[in-house]
Amino acid sequence: MNVAMLIYLIVLFVVLTPGQFLTLPSASSPKLTVTIVHALVFAAIFHFTHNMAMKAVVNVPVNM
């Protein structure tokens, strides 16, 4: 795993942390339900976007 992919995971985790930017379902739902929904959303988004993110990272030229 490279640094760019690690940064992608961290940003995705922070964005989908319950209460940071959104709360699914609502804040009045039980805490466990909110946590499970956010975990499933994280897994789904990561599953469908990790190849795209990895291709974007691989195609970035590095000038040293």
| Residues sharing a CB contact under 8 Å with residue 31, sequence separation 6 or more, in sequence order | none
Q: What is the structure's pLDDT at 4?
A: 80
**pTM score:** 0.76
In a domain, 11, yes or no: no
pLDDT digits (tens, 9 = 90+) for 10-64: 999 998 888 888 778 877 888 888 889 889 999 999 999 988 887 877 776 656 5
Measured from the Cβ of residue 16, the count of other Cβ atoms closer than 10 Å reads: 19
What is the structure's pLDDT at 6?
A: 87
Distance CA 15, CA 56 (A): 20
- 5, part of any domain: no
Instruction: Report the pLDDT value the prediction gives residue 24, as an integer from 0 to 100.
Output: 80
Give the pLDDT score at 45: 93
Report the domain count for the chain. Answer: 1
- Domain extent at residue 37: 23-57
Q: How far is CA 15 from CA 25, 32, 44, 59, 63, in A?
A: 15, 18, 14, 25, 30
